[in-house]
Structure 1
Amino acid sequence: MTDRPADDRPADDRPVDDRPVDDRPNVLVVLTDQQTAEAMSATGNPHLATPHMDALAAAGTRYRQAYCAQPLCAPSRASLLTGQLPSSLGVTGNEGGAEPVLGRLFADAGYDCGYGGKWHLPELDLPDGHGFRRIHPAGDDAGLARAAAAFVRERRDRPFLLVASFLEPHGICEWARGQDPKTGPLPAPPPAEDCPPLPANFPPAPYEARLPRLAQRAWAHTHPTEEWSEDDWRRYRYAYYALVERVDAHLGTVLSALREPADGPEQRQEGRRETVVVFSSDHGDGAGAHRWNQKWALYEESVRVPFLVSGPGAAAGAVSDRLVSTGLDLVPTLCDLAGVTPPPGLPGRSVRAPEPRETVVVETRWELPGFNNALGRMVRDPRHKYVCYAWGDHREQLFDLTADPGEMVNLAVDARHAALLDRFRSLLAVHCARSGDPFARFLPAPRAG
């Protein structure tokens, strides 16, 4: 396989399907907040039950290697709604804003576009414009589920695009600080022996990167975990999975509306328009791996997210290991499935493109007082993963995710893997040069010889 620069391939260039609007499907995009990829029972996780996520997976395709653009809310959401990387948009922290293209694009194509729940670009609620009408504010997941179901049932003579952006399981952030999640308190955890076990990669790994650990210790309000016992971490995992189950129930409310007759005799069940459903999350959560809660760090648990696609154009009951950059690929995928012409120049591609991407790039940045240039980049190919932080001991990480899915063996410190390390350095260097990524000045030079 020929090495290619990371994430700079053009969008799928197949002929655009310019179907009349009457022939196009509805599109439902459901986003959760801070859900790691393995937090679904469809993945074989026995420690939670997510029947509605599982039903979507059974009805469509589950992409196991889907990665967010940046493990932080606003940058990831900016990427999801524009098809650009956060560094290209200048949105690398939670205060940044961008001009999303998704709503205007589909509105211009004749879609009735609704958005409910968390926006965070940077306003928490959707402001006026952007091609969407707001159906429900952020922070009330139960109300959002009801509003989304009502939107789906509305009488209309054209297809809809609905983005339902739920808050949970983000409430684990508050729970870790001894506060109630915004969607309501959780029951007290059971005894530790009845909580989910610790993951196999719970201990910090040898030769781990120093920068994320320094940030963790400097931000005790966000990471109140330094003195936690193993039982505390087990209770954390119990609470996290309980919040995922909570949002799964709300997903069920929305999906049930798709199966009900629409208002109006002319839209009876047998004549209803088909619906494409895409389910994902803005980023993951450490979930106790490497003794990590929250996001930011480029661990798999923080950057790999669920990505389910069902409906017309998606294979039912399929599981794919195709690499997906959710931030870059969501807009092209929705355009492809709906027959809408995508904006020119997008760097992503539809998950149905004939040629899969060979690499995914993920960015990160901490905005902490006293932490200058607290940046990192990740490059993932089908087997290996390279992480480079701007500074700190062991700032380069290299993992064979087939042999070491828990990222416990850093191959970058082993001279036998020097050629592989140089390959990933080169991939990231070319990506930075072509995308104008300012991380270029922090790239290590390839080894001589």
Structure 2
Amino acid sequence: MNVKKQCLFWIILLTVLTVCPAQNNSSSKNKKPNIVVILTDQQHVKMMSAAGNPFLKTPAMDEIAANGIRFEQAYCTSPVCGPARSSIVTGKMPHQTGVEWNGQAIKKGIPNSGRIFRENGYETVWAGKWHLPEAYPQSNSDKHKSIQDYTVLPFWDTSKKHYGLGSKTDPPLTKAVVSYLKKYNKEKPLFLTISYHNPHDICMYARKDGWTSKNDSLLEIRYFGYKTKLAPIIGQDPHYIDSLPPLPHNHAVEKDEPDFITEKRKNHKEYGVETMFANQEFDSIEWQGYLNAYHKLTEMVDVEIGKVLQSLKDNGYWENTMIVFASDHGDGASAHKWAAKLSFYEESATVPIIVSWPEIKQKGIVDRQHSVSQIDILPTLLDYADIETSEKFYGSSLLKLAECGKSKWRDYTVVELADFVKDKSRKGRMIRMGPYKYSIYSTGEEQLFHIGNDPGETQNLVNEVLLASVVENCKESLLEWGNKTNDSFILSIL
């Protein structure tokens, strides 16, 4: 081989070795990742074994946490189903989406996550509970059979009545999702939201219709299955009382609790009925049974999530899929003698938020420092998918917090409450700012807790003279937020 041919040979070889790999890497980077969002209903942030709760086991949720970043100061935007869900799918606060109470639809013109991802080449699929306004669009009773910008995954057997119970809807939902993942052609990247119902069934424990109904499904929640293998967990059989979880240290009603909250314990038959009935009827054993049932319902939905995770692995999604796990709001969980949601107490206002993606540098991160919100979920998804949009968000991508606090984060997180649709004047706002949590209600009543020193929120410090500057700082930040987001309630109350 002469010199010229040798030179030409080496030039071609070097070109193949250096240019071609770069092209392959570029092609890999240009391939959009899949995104799977998994939602539960009425699960507070400590209701998983990964969060240190010793009274239940949630291996599926724990696995997501072990492969990503879990946030311990994670708040819903409102402790009500529809409002919180509107924030998850739009990245906006409930007063902005127009969904401040259940039964409302998102304002026209506000794009949901389905539209944004669909416009960017994704197959967008919604599976399970929606609640904006219909709980399940495919049920016989609902007027709307579709969700705008989403393909609704069929799973509802219209020949059967489910009575709004996750014990009946969650297993067939999982079966439909697993079947879909197995058959999906993968021509487009997948944006899939799987929205489970449980542990929301805990609502039925406190309702009197669950005590007396002839419907076996309702009785199964109230007595939690004396006719089934789940019989022991209710705890009314003395043989099982000793195995019940203890009451939380903050089980007692807070001294000097605002009338805004106390009223709901007494006469809110239409909205907040669970708390009213629980306060009227429960002794300490029944409160323990309530908490135990809540644990078991959470374990039940974790089993379903585990099946989905296995399907993602079996069908080749695991290495190119972001998984986000969250809930719409929490539950009183016997703290403050509170059942269900509709309060700013930590048990009702906090939710699990976990983000897991294949490229995360350090797995199993637990962020205890930053307060995060459901308005951060959509910006996180868009950041990971490298999608730009003209929509204005007030949340931020959570990906940067995986850098272990190196990135600057906002100073506070705000939660809204509109707790009674028949009296639209009843509202409140809460702000988490560092270790402090301040709330103000339409009655003018206020609360201030130091969550670091008093995680159970047993001492209202709002009238402490030495903390007057803290209260003032919280109000100033709330007012800043009100001006930024055009929150008429904040602007009127402050």
Please report the TM-score for the alignment, with normalisation by the length of structure 1: 0.87
Instruction: Give per-residue Cα distances to partners, 1:318-374, cap 9 Å, x unaligned.
Output: 1012435433111100011122224431111101243212110000012165x4521
Q: Does residue 1:89 correspond to 2:97, yes or no?
A: yes
Name the residue aligned to 1:355: 408
Name the residue aligned to 2:134: 123
Name the residue aligned to 2:8: none
Amino acid at match of 1:386: Y
**CA gap 1:247/1:236 in 2 versus in 1, 3 angstroms:** same
Name the residue aligned to 1:151: 180
Instruction: Give per-residue Cα distances to partners, 1:429-449, cap 9 Å, x unaligned.
Output: 2221222212135535xxxxx
Structure 1 segments (4+ residues) deviating >3 Å: 18-22, 136-139, 180-186, 322-326
Name the residue aligned to 2:14: none
Name the residue aligned to 2:18: none
Tell me which moved more, 84-93 or 207-216: 207-216
Q: Once the 2 structures are TM-superposed, how far is the Cα of residue 130 of structure 1 from its aligned partner?
A: 2.2
C-alpha separation between the residues in 1 aligned to 2:79 and 2:446?
18
Amino acid at match of 1:217: K
Name the residue aligned to 2:452: 402
Name the residue aligned to 1:23: 31
The partner residue of 2:74 within 61, 66, 75 is 66
C-alpha separation between the residues in 1 aligned to 2:489 and 2:219?
38
1:38 is paired with a residue whose SS is coil
Name the residue aligned to 1:317: 364
Name the residue aligned to 2:117: 106
Tell me which moved more, 19-28 or 325-334: 19-28
Q: Once the 2 structures are TM-superposed, how far is the Cα of residue 24 of structure 1 from its aligned partner?
A: 1.8
**CA gap 1:260/1:346 in 2 versus in 1, 3 angstroms:** same
The partner residue of 1:286 within 308, 332, 339 is 332
Q: Once the 2 structures are TM-superposed, how far is the Cα of residue 377 of structure 1 from its aligned partner?
A: 0.3
Given that 2:319 and 2:358 are in contact with CA atoms closer than 8 Å, whether structure 1 keeps it comes out as no
C-alpha separation between the residues in 1 aligned to 2:349 and 2:484?
23
Q: 1:30-429 alignment to 2 at 5 Å?
A: 30-98=38-106, 99-126=110-137, 127-137=145-155, 140-153=169-182, 154-177=184-207, 179=210, 185=221, 186=224, 187-188=230-231, 189-190=234-235, 191-220=240-269, 221-223=273-275, 224-227=277-280, 228-262=282-316, 274-314=320-360, 315-353=362-400, 354-367=407-420, 369=422, 371=423, 373-391=425-443, 395-429=445-479
C-alpha separation between the residues in 2 aligned to 1:30 and 1:219?
32
Larger Rg: 2
Given that 2:322 and 2:358 are in contact with CA atoms closer than 8 Å, whether structure 1 keeps it comes out as yes
Instruction: Give per-residue Cα distances to partners, 1:291-339, cap 9 Å, x unaligned.
Output: 0011111001111100111123434111012435433111100011122
C-alpha separation between the residues in 2 aligned to 1:432 and 1:143?
42
Given that 1:65 and 1:324 are in contact with CA atoms closer than 8 Å, whether structure 2 keeps it comes out as yes
Given that 2:433 and 2:474 are in contact with CA atoms closer than 8 Å, whether structure 1 keeps it comes out as no
Tell me which moved more, 47-56 or 253-262: 253-262
C-alpha separation between the residues in 1 aligned to 2:96 and 2:103?
16
C-alpha separation between the residues in 2 aligned to 1:61 and 1:71?
23
Which protein, 1 or 2, shows the higher relative CO under an 8 Å CA cutoff with sep ≥ 6? Answer: 1
Given that 1:78 and 1:100 are in contact with CA atoms closer than 8 Å, whether structure 2 keeps it comes out as no
1:256 is paired with a residue whose SS is helix
Tell me which moved more, 141-150 or 341-350: 341-350
C-alpha separation between the residues in 2 aligned to 1:274 and 1:368?
43
C-alpha separation between the residues in 2 aligned to 1:396 and 1:442?
15
Q: Once the 2 structures are TM-superposed, how far is the Cα of residue 143 of structure 1 from its aligned partner?
A: 1.0
**CA gap 1:367/1:304 in 2 versus in 1, 3 angstroms:** same
C-alpha separation between the residues in 1 aligned to 2:27 and 2:82?
33
2:121 is paired with a residue whose SS is coil
C-alpha separation between the residues in 1 aligned to 2:185 and 2:364?
31
Instruction: Give per-residue Cα distances to partners, 1:395-416, cap 9 Å, x unaligned.
Output: 2111111111111111102112
Higher helix proportion: 2
Q: Once the 2 structures are TM-superposed, how far is the Cα of residue 163 of structure 1 from its aligned partner?
A: 0.3
1:47 is paired with a residue whose SS is coil
Instruction: Give per-residue Cα distances to partners, 1:132-156, cap 9 Å, x unaligned.
Output: 1111357510011111222222222
C-alpha separation between the residues in 1 aligned to 2:132 and 2:32?
29
C-alpha separation between the residues in 1 aligned to 2:118 and 2:27?
15
**CA gap 1:332/1:183 in 2 versus in 1, 3 angstroms:** farther
Amino acid at match of 2:62: D
RMSD: 2.2
Question: What percent of counterpart residues are identical?
Answer: 34
C-alpha separation between the residues in 2 aligned to 1:364 and 1:100?
23
Which consecutive unaligned segments of at least 5 residues does structure 2 have?
1-25, 138-144, 157-165, 211-215, 225-229, 401-406
Which consecutive unaligned segments of at least 5 residues does structure 1 have?
1-17, 263-268, 445-449
Instruction: Give per-residue Cα distances to partners, 1:377-400, cap 9 Å, x unaligned.
Output: 0000221111111106xx211111
C-alpha separation between the residues in 2 aligned to 1:21 and 1:397?
49
Name the residue aligned to 2:490: 440
C-alpha separation between the residues in 2 aligned to 1:439 and 1:137?
40
**CA gap 1:217/1:20 in 2 versus in 1, 3 angstroms:** farther
Given that 1:72 and 1:296 are in contact with CA atoms closer than 8 Å, whether structure 2 keeps it comes out as yes
Amino acid at match of 2:426: A
Tell me which moved more, 99-108 or 109-118: 99-108
Amino acid at match of 2:330: G
Q: Once the 2 structures are TM-superposed, how far is the Cα of residue 103 of structure 1 from its aligned partner?
A: 0.5
